[in-house]
Structure 1
Amino acid sequence: MEHNTQHNIISDSMIDAAENIRKVEIADAKAIVDIYNYYVENTAISFETEPLTVNEMAERIKDISSKFPYFVYEKDGKILGYCYAHQWKERAAYSKTLETTIYIDKDATRQGLGRIMVKLLIDLCRNEGYRALIACITQGNEASIKMHESLGFKQVSEFKEVGFKLDTWLDVVDLELLL
């Protein structure tokens, strides 16, 4: 499947305009895995059940950032969050639809960082010619649902009891934004 790599050009100019946001680097893997593993180990926000290693996260960063927008929010030398888009489904007809991912350090939530990052992601994806963004969110993660809705995402599906984690059956909602 062919991917638009123009984001390397567009994101430089757009990200420069957003204070504290920069393109991800492989060296960010440790900080990113620390943020992510908190959610893996302590919440139902991520459906993974085992923490990742730094090397596993570095491979994911390398794979995703080579094809799609991927950036971090860094303040005073500390990464407080990361955001990226990746292919929603692998069939060719889905090539213009991406799934969004956003994680914020547990100690930096509710400060508007997620909204800033997802807004930039929307702009980058729109400028690259993508048609739709999908946010797959665990039902009950009201902060994420409300933030996405405030940016124009609309709930388009609800899947009942499709995940099992922390001794609980979990529902998932998909929110879509047409670009």
Structure 2
Amino acid sequence: MIRSVDLSDAGEIVSIYNDYILNSVVSFETEALTVEEMQKRINDISSCFPYFVYEKDGHIAGYCYAHAWKSRAAYSGTLETTVYLAPEYKGLGIGRELMERLISECRALGYSALIACITACNTDSIGFHRCLGFEKVSHFKRVGYKFDRWLDVVDYELLL
């Protein structure tokens, strides 16, 4: 079931996200977050933008949201997207359902474009976004450093 996020979801969301922080280059954060930090982020984002969770068997299987791509007013029609799944729920179509709901909501709200910022070596995410209609629009080289290596970032865009 897809539903809007609630602050009470922060514990499960932070658990999902911290796994990416600590064990992958998917996120460029390097320090695990607390539940309180995640609650603040959820509140800040969901008060202005769409933020959804996928609840399965009484647990959060994944989540996605959109947020401001850049802070200047001229960019207000463009949002950046984020989607994360708990490892045991990957490959079941949950990410696609979440993103389709997010895209639909952003379109209904009148946004013009969505940007997905992806670590260039994350071929699963690149393929996933391409299947949703996102197209590659940039490639930044050596802009992130994590786990003793430089990382490239690519941006994929979906025009609504």
TM-score normalised per structure 2: 0.99
The equivalences for 1:10-159 within 5 A come to 20-159=1-140
Unaligned runs of 5+ residues in structure 2 are none
Which residue is 1:7 aligned to? none
SS in 2 for 1:136: strand
Query: How many equivalent pairs are there?
Result: 160
How much does 1:125 deviate? Answer: 0.3
1: CA distance, partners of 2:159 / 2:25: 27
Find the residue that maps to 1:115 and give its secondary structure.
helix
Supply the RMSD in Å over aligned alpha carbons. 0.5
Cα distance in 1 for residues equivalent to 2:152 and 2:23: 17
For 2:92 and 2:142, the matched residues in 1 are separated by 31
Alpha-carbon displacement from aligned partner over 1:33-83 (angstroms, at most 9, x marks no partner) = 000000000000000000000000000000000000001001110101000
Deviation at 1:172, TM superposition (A): 0.4
Which segment is superposed worse, 112-121 or 52-61?
A: 112-121
In structure 1, C-alpha distance between the alignment counterparts of 2:34 and 2:61, rounded to whole Å: 19
The one-letter amino acid of 1:102's match is V
User: Alpha-carbon deviation of 1:22?
Assistant: 0.6
Matched residues, percent identical?
62
Query: 1:86, 1:54 → 2: CA distance?
Result: 20
CA distance in 2, matches of 1:107, 1:75: 11
CA distance in 2, matches of 1:43, 1:116: 23
**SS of 2:88's equivalent?**
coil
TM score, norm. by length of structure 1 = 0.88
The answer for unaligned runs of 5 or more in structure 1 is 1-19
Within 1, Cα distance between the matches of 2:125 and 2:99? 11
Please state how far the C-alpha of 1:143 moved relative to its aligned partner. Answer: 1.2
1:150, distance to aligned residue in structure 2 (A) = 0.7
* Residue of structure 2 equivalent to 1:10: none
- Structure 1's consecutive aligned runs of 4 or more residues displaced over 4 angstroms after TM superposition are none
